[in-house]
Amino acid sequence: MKILVLHAHPRLSASVVQRAMLRAIEGLDDVTRVDLYAEYPGMDIDVPREQRRLLDHDVIVLQHPLYWYSSPAIIKEWQDLVLENGWAYGPGGTKLAGRFLMSAISTGGPEQAYHHAGRNRFEITELLSPFNQTAWLCSMAWLAPFVIHAGRRMSNTELSSAAESYRDLIVGLRDGTIDPLTRLAPGFTLPPAFVEGISR
């Protein structure tokens, strides 16, 4: 499978965790990395180009730090402009059917904060539910997010090991040693048109 990693960090030079994740997947065949803030510093997203990129890949990864329980703004702008009615969803909008969507995020908060009784009151998959429903509307399968919690507080060894797990996941999905259908997010049911898309 071909993997498209759309990553967004508004201050990549100050990043620790996202940069470790990016380094871990650097140079992999059939893995395309796109730095959205570098390509579109004015957020002037080239819609036809982004749509072509989507069509050329099977797994779309949105990689970013969790900012205010969501994504940095350019991911939202990308969604708003690229996922057009009649292309990604709606009448005739079947271009993404049968593909896979996954979030790969880092958080400042520790794992135990992301529970109903924890400081952040919600599970990560609940906070990312707009991406769950975006995938569903586009007849895609939404995979369980990959999360590095509190990576800036990790030792170098711990962070390298977490980034290595990210690489293993990306490589496994690419090579088919990890079946993405076994990694659906908890509670996610495949949209009706997903199977038609996959057999295309």
Ligand X SMILES: Cc1cc2nc3c(=O)[nH]c(=O)nc-3n(C[C@H](O)[C@H](O)[C@H](O)COP(=O)(O)O)c2cc1C
Site residues for ligand X per CB under 6 A: 9, 15-18, 65-69, 106-109, 151-152
- CA 128 vs. chain centroid, Å, equals 10
Q: How far is the CB of 151 from ligand X (least distance, A)?
A: 6
Q: How far is the CB of 70 from ligand X (least distance, A)?
A: 7
Angle of helix 47-55 relative to helix 73-82, nearest 10 degrees, comes to: 80
Outline where DSSP puts E strands in 91-170.
Answer: 100-107, 141-142, 146-149
Q: Which of 6, 193, 30, 23 is nearest to 101 (CA)?
A: 6
Buried b (16+ CB within 10 A) or exposed e, 113-133: ebeeeeebeeebbebbeebbe
Q: How far is the CB of 166 from ligand X (least distance, A)?
A: 12
**1 vs 150, which CB is nearer to ligand X?**
150
CA angle at residue 183 from 63 to 10, to 5 degrees? Answer: 5
**2 vs 160, which CB is nearer to ligand X?**
160
**2 vs 76, which CB is nearer to ligand X?**
76
Q: How far is the CB of 148 from ligand X (least distance, A)?
A: 8
**150 vs 193, which CB is nearer to ligand X?**
150
